[in-house]
Structure 1
Amino acid sequence: MRRWLVALAVAGVLAATGLVAYHVFAPAEVADLASDPYPDAPEAPPGVIGSIAPAPLIVDGRLRVYAATRQVRADGPVDARTQRTPYWSYRRWPAQVVGVVAVGTTVVSRWSDGDLVALDGRTGRISWRSSGRLPEAAGYDGGTTGARTVYEPDGMATAAGRVMVREAGQVRAFAAATGRVVWRTNATDCDGFTTAGGWYVVPCGIPRFYDIANGQPINWAPPETVATFGIEPVGCDVALSECAGMRTNSGGTVRGWLVEGATPVAAPALDAPNSTVAGDVAIAVSNDEVVARSVPNNTEIWRWRGKPNIAELLPMETGAVHFLTADRQLVTLDAASGRERSRFVLAYGRERTHWVPGHVAVRDGFVTVERMAPTGGPEDYFSVVPIIIART
């Protein structure tokens, strides 16, 4: 009798242990939905907003969305000086976040087990989900800030209400609003980019082009091309999406192209390797001057020279040119006239400025810069709050 009772007790302990192990180790997800009102549109004037630890993806001009190893979360408003209690959050286990993109108010997260989970940015509720093949990225690769995961997500791009996802053996295009697979193709040599004119471009090897609307191949090449040619996207939103231009290199012949329409249009103003574009204006830095040229006819529109010297040209927005000076002033010019819109030191409070820019994002009138230490490796940040946000 005693042996039977001992065996029963051991079985009970094992069963209880197994139950606990299931709750701790079984795959799970937790969604904390929004309970506060949707954040208002920002009203901040030009200037530094604040410094925070994680890199935000600005969504709908009202939310800041962040990526961590196993979590996607949002806070707001965009012009909050510090990181706020999450407006909503979504966590999974054991899968890790591979990438995050946004189309309108839909936030699409990609996970290391191949799943896509789309969240309604206004509420945090799951809008749709899709299983898929394993991505090439084994897991989260965003570092401490998550900047790469939200600004350069692995195998993801957006345009025209679509989310293109590259996975082993194929590229699938999803309707961002519904999750419906609109088309698929076997072009998987490397990550593609999208154009403002509605193309999905696979730039490596023999470049290939697809119509984002239906996935049909498009036959195009520069006129001097014999066999193959290189392609560089120009003037893109985050995730190499909705690029306004591109540069081709065929046997050493470099040509710039405007790709905002149905077919590329030759744009000599974009031939220069350091030039970028927004709308019909091409911008390049030459001898510490910002030079603007008309994309259609390559004529100079204006040039701007200030002190101290220009250090780095940042991504542009339609109508605005952003760049950093050597002493870390953020200068914004009107793209049409060259008129100075704003200028201020990119530092919050008494922060020092001996940093170098890492990942940079420009969206909805906000500039976000990941500040890195002047020397060191990819995880050597400028401070414990390396992300600085400014309104331009």
Structure 2
Amino acid sequence: MTRVLLRASAAVLLLLASALIGWRVLGPAERLDTSSAPYPPLVVSAPGVQGRIGVAPLIFNDRLRIYAAKHQLRADEPVYGRAVYTSRWSLRRWPQQLSGVVTSGTTVVSRWSDGLLVGQDGRTGKILWRTSGPDAPDYAGHRTGAAAVWSPPGLRIAAGSVVVTQGQDLFGYDVSTGAERWRATPPAGCVDGFTTAGGVYVCATGAYDATSGRPMANWPAGPFTALGCLVAGSNCAGFRDAAGHGWLAAAATPRRAAALDSPDATVAAGVVVSVVNGVVTGHDPDGAVRWTWPGEARVLGGSSSLVLLVRPDHHLITLEAATGRQTADVRLAFGKEDDLWKFGGYQIAEHYLAIERRRLDGPDDPESPIYYYTTDTVLLAGF
């Protein structure tokens, strides 16, 4: 009898232990690890490829790299590192999924599948605020996390506001406090728009002040093509309207710019740049030619003072926005890599560029093992 009782007791204890382990592993949980280390100084690397990694970094103020995973947000350093390093700070939530990330100043804002918005100090990872918002899409970053950090669905930034979309509803939250500033329900068709440098949220059916949610009067008719955007479809420098007319968007009221009418034109470093018949041309906003650069190239975008081009042979060319003078020519390859890849997502920071590379003849399926160029498919370059 004693032996039976001992066996029964052992079975009960084993069951309880298994339940406890299961709860610790699978039960709702959140873990935050912050950093007290000094904030790294700005280091401007010489033009060239710095490294290659397997995940897409959100380059934060040219000092840190922020990564998205299905249930985790984390940061490492240095920004020019050749590999992914031990996390400087991290936030993990289970079973919630990370939907997207945006940054403003020193604040990092993440949106989670349960609708929670979390504001963190990007330097330390310390949580500054939490706000309940509308439900968000699940993680869609695939292997690299690029979609979550470079083009987060329904998450934009402008004029000190985080603009969240859910269905036909718009919500505006204060970046510094998380407080809800406004909410609006635009006409049908206003989904996943962009924000302008002048602080306006723009979608196919209208435009709204990002600080108040009020509709903007006398706005051109959409749908629109965003031009010269920073990461996450935010702070775009210009756009084209439904008639193909170009506009500069540095102020709340857009300014007509005929030089942007060309389908090959965009805005980079404050200059209207077009590529026609093998010549890259920089224009003043009024259309006057400022400079030309001969050669086939694609305009990637710009920093505050440089225009970034990429040649068909995957050479990164940087030009002074004011004069068109070439300042760098960087082969976008790590070591002896070939150039048999095509652009996926990318981010241009002030001194660094990150590119997600996809296999040239690969399938159009991010889950395929041959979708990406290599295992370490994200290239990091300084300029």
TM-score bracket for the superposition, by shorter chain length: over 0.9
Normalised to the residue count of structure 2, the TM-score between the two structures is 0.92
Q: Is the 8 A contact 1:209 1:220 kept in 2?
A: no
Aligned counterpart, 1:96? 97
Change (3 A) 1:232 1:133: same
- Select which of 353, 362, 371 maps to 2:357: 371
Offset at 1:229? 3.3
What fraction of aligned residue pairs are identical, expressed as a percent?
Answer: 41
Q: Which moved more, 1:279-288 or 1:194-203?
A: 279-288
- Select which of 231, 243, 253 maps to 1:238: 231
Residue type of the alignment partner of 1:230: P
Q: Where in structure 2 are the equivalents of 1:75-86 lying within 5 Å? A: 75-86=76-87
Aligned counterpart, 2:33? 32
Offset at 1:35? 4.3
Q: Is the 8 A contact 2:196 2:249 kept in 1?
A: yes
Change (3 A) 1:10 1:286: same
Aligned counterpart, 2:159? 160
- Select which of 255, 260, 283 maps to 1:265: 255
SS in 1 for 2:356: strand
Instruction: Supply the distance in 2 between the matched residues of 1:30 and 1:193 (Cα, whole angstroms).
Output: 32
Q: Is the 8 A contact 1:61 1:78 kept in 2?
A: yes
Residue type of the alignment partner of 1:290: V
Residue type of the alignment partner of 2:257: A
Instruction: Supply the distance in 2 between the matched residues of 1:279 and 1:42 (Cα, whole angstroms).
Output: 21
Aligned counterpart, 1:225? none
SS in 2 for 1:150: helix
Q: Where in structure 2 are the equivalents of 1:237-386 lying within 5 Å? A: 237-249=230-242, 253-278=243-268, 280-295=270-285, 297-306=286-295, 309-310=296-297, 312-377=298-363, 378-379=365-366, 380-386=371-377
Instruction: Supply the distance in 1 between the matched residues of 2:302 and 2:270 (Cα, whole angstroms).
Output: 12
Q: Does 1:62 align with 2:63?
A: yes
Offset at 1:12? 5.0
Q: Is the 8 A contact 2:49 2:382 kept in 1?
A: yes
Change (3 A) 1:247 1:356: same
Instruction: Supply the distance in 2 between the matched residues of 1:49 and 1:31 (Cα, whole angstroms).
Output: 30
Change (3 A) 1:45 1:34: same
Residue type of the alignment partner of 2:241: T
Q: Is the 8 A contact 2:44 2:351 kept in 1?
A: no
Q: Where in structure 2 are the equivalents of 1:101-250 lying within 5 Å? A: 101-135=102-136, 137=137, 139-168=138-167, 170-187=169-186, 189-203=190-204, 207-222=205-220, 229-249=222-242
Normalised to the residue count of structure 1, the TM-score between the two structures is 0.90
Q: Is the 8 A contact 1:314 1:360 kept in 2?
A: no
Residue type of the alignment partner of 2:222: F
Change (3 A) 1:344 1:17: closer
SS in 2 for 1:218: coil
SS in 2 for 1:91: strand
Offset at 1:124? 1.2
1:57-76 CA-to-partner distances (Å, cap 9, x unmatched) read 11122111011111111111
Q: Is the 8 A contact 1:35 1:87 kept in 2?
A: no
Instruction: Supply the distance in 2 between the matched residues of 1:88 and 1:229 (Cα, whole angstroms).
Output: 42
1:63-112 CA-to-partner distances (Å, cap 9, x unmatched) read 11011111111111212222221111111111111101111111111111
Q: Is the 8 A contact 2:168 2:191 kept in 1?
A: no
Offset at 1:368? 1.2
Q: Is the 8 A contact 1:155 1:167 kept in 2?
A: yes
Residue type of the alignment partner of 1:270: L
Residue type of the alignment partner of 2:284: S
1:206-260 CA-to-partner distances (Å, cap 9, x unmatched) read x2211122221112233xxxxx6321111100111011101002xxx32000111
Structure 1's unaligned 5+ residue stretches are: 223-227
Residue type of the alignment partner of 1:328: H
Instruction: Supply the distance in 1 between the matched residues of 2:269 and 2:245 (Cα, whole angstroms).
Output: 18
Instruction: Supply the distance in 2 between the matched residues of 1:220 and 1:281 (Cα, whole angstroms).
Output: 25
Query: How much is the aligned-residue C-alpha RMSD, in angstroms?
Result: 2.0
SS in 2 for 1:217: coil
SS in 1 for 2:245: strand
Change (3 A) 1:150 1:12: same
Q: Is the 8 A contact 2:68 2:74 kept in 1?
A: yes
Offset at 1:154? 0.9
Offset at 1:15? 4.1
Instruction: Supply the distance in 1 between the matched residues of 2:145 and 2:329 (Cα, whole angstroms).
Output: 28
Instruction: Supply the distance in 1 between the matched residues of 2:30 and 2:238 (Cα, whole angstroms).
Output: 40
Offset at 1:6? 7.4
